[in-house]
A and B are shown apart, each in its own frame.
Chain A
């Protein structure tokens, strides 16, 4: 019995997997973080004593149960420009598939340093992006879709090692937990039960990129989208596990995040969340899709695989 359980556990967490989905996720996640860190050059003063939060207060501003053991920001504020430049270069390299675990580890540390330096200016994309960068830093994320593979074609692509397999699974679990929690939290709100919560979001000009007040002429749309949102979030873990509902669930998520990105100006948040979807796609489907999308690569992959 124990042997059987262990075998199943071993298969679920440690069995070798294709690294193509992970590579797509790496490109989308690192490119999003690259964009966000390039824009940080406009806001470098947010991370200095001339901003709202002096360095000595950086830890104290966090809730007591949320304070880290130490600050990852090992550099003085005066080096912010240089450190952000390093971060941008590293993220650029990782997007192209150059580097590996160590480079991603260092990238994660620098990024975490900035997030901790001014906790109050972080938003969803910062927090979730950093979390997935942490998990990804243990994986062979640069094995596939690397610019190196175009220059020096590989004879064959490796499958994931034990650590990468475990981390791919952990990221799948993590995104499922995030969705489930966001759904559960909504159930605490009266307006979500009432079906009108989305009206408060769409009619809020601070949250949207266009005027949605016209929706009051079609009010039934609001509760429909609101309830679908809650159902999608709560049942994401179950729907994504079951192969029959997996692609419906991912398509729903894609349209949900496209809406958030386009109409709420939260594109980085949308792309960070959607980047994890590649981990749920059938590797064979991804291989076929890759060959269709990049016909030039098809030759390389074929040559290198044979």
Chain B
């Protein structure tokens, strides 16, 4: 029994050393130790959830940001069937009726939905994930927005950052509102077609 206990402790000790090594290496996996030990470290770390970087609000805290999008609808087509003289009695959804582009924001601005705070945090996390790479906007966000607006032909997405004024500036111009001191910066712009036909792209 004593030998079994000792063997168990020895095996557990090996795991302890390995796990501590993984927890130290994974947050900085791009560094030398991470690169040379990736084969031994990452399969385990990624399976148990040790594959996280602990970089809360760092290296720099994020500025307020959102995804602004514009949904475009097709131009009305004039055919013999829907020409103005045959339009009579065709109802309100005439194909000739032009639909104005729709503007929207993700996450929804001034959200009135009755949802828990965590929903907002998740949507915000998602937006931040999407705007890190234009590909994500084209492959994931764009098609999702197309599904939200049936009939749309294309959607243009812009990553907008509202910069926070430097502390010194905010102190110096105390009479001005934060909104006035803030600047709007557009860092990314992508357009996706909602009608297919685009080359298939992988993440």
List residues of A whose CB falls within 8 A of some B CB. 9-10, 13-14, 36, 39, 42-43, 46, 50-53, 57, 60-62, 65-70, 112, 115, 119-124, 127-128, 130-131, 134, 162-163, 166, 170, 173-174, 177-178, 181-182, 185-186, 188-192, 196-201, 203-207, 213, 216-217, 219, 222, 265-266, 268
Contact = CB atoms under 8 A, between A and B. Distances in A.
B153 interface: no
Contacts of B53: 181, 185
Contact of A42 (B43, B49, B116): B116
A197 B166 contact: no
Nearest to A72: B47
Contacts of B118: 36, 39, 43, 268
B23 interface: yes
A189 B62 CA distance: 12
A86 to B, nearest CB: 20
Contacts of B42: 65-66
A9 B123 CA distance: 45
- The main secondary structure of chain A at its interface with chain B is helix
Given A197-B60, A204-B62, A173 B52 contact: no
Interface in B24-76: 24, 27-30, 34, 38, 42-43, 46-65
Nearest to B148: A50
A216 B170 contact: yes
Given A66-B46, A127-B49, A216-B174, A120 B58 contact: no
Contacts of A61: 129, 136, 140, 203
A189 B58 contact: yes
Contact of A163 (B12, B29, B130, B141): B12
B124 A206 contact: yes
Contacts of A121: 122-123, 125-126
A216 B171 contact: yes
Nearest to A64: B42
B86 interface: no
Contacts of B174: 216-217
Nearest to B172: A216
B47 A70 contact: yes
Contacts of A10: 9
Contacts, number: 180
Interface stretch (B13-21, B77-85, B90-98, B185-193): B13-21
B46 A162 contact: no
Contact of A186 (B49, B57, B136): B57
B128 to A, nearest CB: 9
Contacts of A182: 54-56, 58
B57 A201 contact: yes
B1 interface: no
A206 B141 CA distance: 21
B61 A177 contact: no
A104 to B, nearest CB: 14
A206 B55 CA distance: 18
B147 interface: yes
A265 B117 contact: yes
Given A162-B9, A186-B57, A204 B63 contact: yes
